[in-house]
Amino acid sequence: MSGPLKGIRVVEMAGIGPAPFCAMMLADMGAEVIRIDRLTESLLGSGGTVVDRGRRTIALDIKKDHAKEILHKLIARSDVLIEGFRPGVMEKLGLGPDVCFEQNPKLIYSRMTGWGQTGLLSKTAGHDINYLSLTGVLHAMGQADRPPAPPLHLVGDQGGGAMMLAFGIVCALFEAQKSGKGQVIDAAISDGASTLGSIYHSLLEQGKWQNQREANLLDGGAPFYTCYTCKDGKYISIGAIEPQFYQLLLEKCELTDPIFARQMDKSAWPEIKQKFTELFKSKTRQEWCELLEGTDACFAPVLDFEEAASHPHNTSRNNFIKINGMTAPAASPRLSRTPATPGEIFKNGHHTAEILNELGYGNDDLEKFRQIGLIK
């Protein structure tokens, strides 16, 4: 592996949600990530997803006596530990921060949860949609005449969770270079999603945001910042906020009705949106692409996942790659001198013997571990 994190070793306790995505980001950037898998398949299978790329994997029954010994050896030789269990689970396994710091004072002990390590809900189960519910973010999503729309888990798990955790890890690694000391990262999806919503809290304080869906500039309320249905049932997006871009949109669409001049007059928005709705239904998505794509009218077709992989812009930047025969988004961001390099995808436990050998266990030890059900 190459990349800016080359030389950093990360131990990832297998799980679902943001922790694996964070580990993928670190692996893409060159970190050596070793995933501790269970002997049985997880909810998402046996380690064959795009998010599993770029790391080695060892499968253990972590409740067996020898497992703790193996994990302690591995953690002692690593820079980062990532775990996404409920608070207290790692302590019950004998792998809590205090124990790990005794063996490795520079360890970055990274904890990923929904509600956080403390707080009234810290030990309560939940998922992305629940964590977003307490942040105000979910309330702002969707159409005004129906309940909030359950979003993909990009805002909570991936953005508020995985990316905040990755940022914290890199910050802690940087600090450890100076202090020689590790620390615990308490990353919570609900915390991170709230942070992502900072601008909306600011707008609310300034009286520029209404706590009502489809009533604001960026939530689909503005007719010049929303999606429309085309003649063929496909969709386009319009984001012409700035006056010059909005004016170009009007010119390209040959719109001269005086109502369109009232861009920032909210009382005119319903009528403008209705006229846009009728207009965009008059052509197919492709016809609108031929007229507007590539201009400053702030336009784009709404593509599905399969269409996105073959769009000319995405192909020109190699935004999608093949890993193990599967189409996958390329790593980002792009670094000029030490670029990210997504690695292969391996099934759970593929490197079990290899990693145990590196830790000093011989073939006789491996056979004993198989007999007691510690490994397969």
Q: Catalytic: which of 37, 52, 79, 157?
A: 157
pLDDT in tens, 255-281: 999 999 999 999 999 999 999 999 999
- Return the CATH number at 292: 3.30.1540.10
177 shares a domain with 240: no
For residue range 191-247, what is the model confidence (pLDDT) as tens digits? Answer: 999 999 999 999 999 999 999 999 999 999 999 999 999 999 999 999 999 999 999
Strands 183-188 and 108-113: parallel
- Total domains, the chain: 2
pLDDT at 37 over 90: yes
Q: Is residue 211 part of a domain?
A: no
Name the domain boundary from 316, 334, 358.
316
Identify the pLDDT of residue 190.
97
Same domain, 309 and 341: no
Tell me: do 86 and 161 sit in the same domain: yes
Residues 57, 187, single domain; the answer is yes
Which distant-in-sequence residues (6+ apart) come within 8 Å of 275 by Cβ? 255, 257, 259, 260
To the query of whether residue 79 is one of the catalytic residues in this protein, the response is no
- Distance in angstroms (rounded) separating the CA atoms of residues 319 and 328: 9
Residue 112's CB is within 10 A of a number of other CB atoms, namely: 29
**Residue 300 is part of which domain span?**
225-316
In-domain check, residue 171: yes
Strand order in the sheet with 225-229: 225-229, 235-239, 299-301
Instruction: Please tell me whether residues 37 and 66 are part of one structural domain.
Output: yes
Q: What pLDDT is attached to residue 126?
A: 95
Pair 39, 176 in one domain: yes
Whether cis (ω within 30° of 0) applies to the bond prior to 333 is yes
Residues 248 and 344 in one domain: no
Residue 182 lies in a domain: yes
163 and 14, same structural domain?
yes
In this prediction, residue 1 has a pLDDT band, given cuts at 50, 70 and 90, of low
Percent of the chain with pLDDT over 90: 95
Q: Which tokens belong to 214?
A: 């489809």
Task: Tell me the pLDDT band of 48, cut-offs 50, 70 and 90.
Answer: confident
Mean per-residue pLDDT, 335-339? 95
* For the chain, the helix, strand and coil percentages under 3-state DSSP, each to the nearest 5: 40, 15, 45
Q: Distance between CA 46 and CA 117 in Å, rounded?
A: 28
- CATH number, domain of 25, equals 3.40.50.10540
Residues 61, 66, 72, 127: which is the catalytic one?
127
Residue where a domain terminates, one of 316, 339, 358: 316
What pLDDT does 42 receive? 61
Same domain, 132 and 47: yes
When the pLDDT of each residue in the chain is averaged and rounded to a whole number, the result is 95
**Residue 215 within a domain:** no
Instruction: Quote the pLDDT of residue 46.
Output: 57
170 shares a domain with 254? no
Q: Measuring CA to CA, which residue among 192, 193, 175 is closest to residue 184?
A: 175
Q: Residues 127-147: pLDDT tens digits?
A: 999 999 999 999 999 999 999
User: Are 20 and 14 contacting, i.e. CB atoms less than 8 angstroms apart?
Assistant: yes
Residue 366 has pLDDT above 90, yes or no: yes
Q: Is residue 273 part of a domain?
A: yes
- Domain membership of residue 258 (yes or no) is yes
Check residue 43 and give its pLDDT. 57
| Same structural domain, 339 and 248 | no
361 part of a folded domain: yes
Catalytic residue list contains 157: yes
> How crowded is residue 161: how many other Cβ atoms within 10 Å of its Cβ?
30
Same domain, 33 and 160: yes
Radius of gyration of the chain (CA): 25
Please answer whether residues 76 and 104 qualify as being in contact, where contact means their C-beta atoms are separated by less than 8 angstroms. Answer: yes
Q: Read off the DSSP letter of residue 332.
A: S
90 domain residue, yes or no: yes
Distance CA 364, CA 134 (A): 53
